[in-house]
């Protein structure tokens, strides 16, 4: 079994979901007392969040690159970055390590295409929804058409992530906001919606909407399990 490298802590609440999902996946596949071989580095999200909102991505990339180097030295065979937003700095991290990065957008795109979905709504931080590092990859590499919420709704989605979900706060009124935004994305032609922030699935699950949801945390974790036991 390969050793999975997890670069987490962004936030720790969603990293916990990764750890649980990956170990459950290995147990399901291999049975018995089998669990995943994991080397994890968890950063202080307070530092990363401040750099994000100040636009100091180079400094954030340096922190994550240093952590990734430690993970590689710890014996990991490949790396998962346990957050959608910080995939913005994947090229910098890749330049500092020799092990491959299992990209969250690639794993998600492959799952979408396997179900015949070519137009999808994207929820996440404003960085993920508005910048090209994520939705551009889905379109350019996989031919998937991506739609995002209108500006006011993007801010609502973003603020709930940082002010509530990353702090472990789950509020029914925020779930209502998200389901309303999802309905609007469907009206824009989205066949499904990507939960493109690893905390969103703490708030929204499939039972809350009839629009198909793609939970990037689960998708990314499942891809890691397949790679680890291949």
Residue numbers annotated as active site? 83, 197
Rounded distance between C-alpha atoms, residue 76 and residue 47, angstroms:
25
**At residue 145, what are phi and psi to the nearest 5 degrees?**
-80, 130
DSSP-based three-state secondary structure for 103: coil
Q: Is the peptide bond before 11 cis (omega within 30 degrees of 0)?
A: yes
User: Rounded to 5 degrees, what angle do the CA atoms 119, 107, 167 make?
Assistant: 90
Locate tokens 């551009």: which residue? Answer: 136
- Residue partners of 5: CB distance under 8 A and separation at least 6: 38, 39, 40, 41, 68, 71, 72, 74, 76, 77, 78, 79, 80, 99
Cβ(58)–Cβ(96) under 8 Å? no
* Both structure tokens of 44: 């202080």
* Both structure tokens of 177: 């906001």
Locate tokens 């939960």: which residue? Answer: 195
* Both structure tokens of 132: 């090209």
Cβ(126)–Cβ(154) under 8 Å? yes
Rounded distance between C-alpha atoms, residue 209 and residue 230, angstroms:
34
């Amino acid at each position: 079994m390969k050793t999975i490298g997890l670069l987490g802590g962004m936030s720790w609440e969603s990293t916990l979901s990764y750890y649980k999902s990956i170990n459950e996946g290995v147990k399901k596949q291999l049975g018995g007392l089998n669990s995943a071989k994991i080397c994890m580095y968890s950063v202080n999200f307070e530092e990363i969040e401040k750099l994000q909102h100040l636009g100091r991505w180079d400094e954030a990339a340096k922190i994550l690159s240093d952590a990734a180097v430690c993970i590689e030295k710890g014996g990991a065979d490949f790396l998962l970055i346990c957050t959608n937003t910080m995939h913005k700095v994947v090229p910098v991290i890749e330049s500092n390590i020799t092990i491959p990065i299992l990209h969250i957008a690639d794993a998600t795109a492959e799952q979408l295409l396997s179900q015949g979905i070519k137009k999808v709504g994207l929820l996440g931080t404003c960085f993920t929804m508005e910048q090209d590092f994520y939705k551009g990859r889905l379109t350019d590499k996989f031919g998937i058409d991506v739609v995002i919420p209108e500006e006011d709704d993007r801010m609502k989605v973003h603020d709930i992530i940082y002010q509530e979900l990353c702090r472990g706060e789950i509020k029914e009124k925020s779930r209502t906001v998200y389901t309303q935004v999802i309905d609007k994305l469907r009206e824009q032609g989205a066949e499904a919606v990507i939960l493109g922030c690893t905390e969103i699935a703490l708030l929204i699950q499939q039972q809350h909407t009839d629009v198909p949801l793609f939970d990037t945390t689960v998708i990314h974790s499942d891809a890691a399990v397949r790679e680890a036991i291949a």
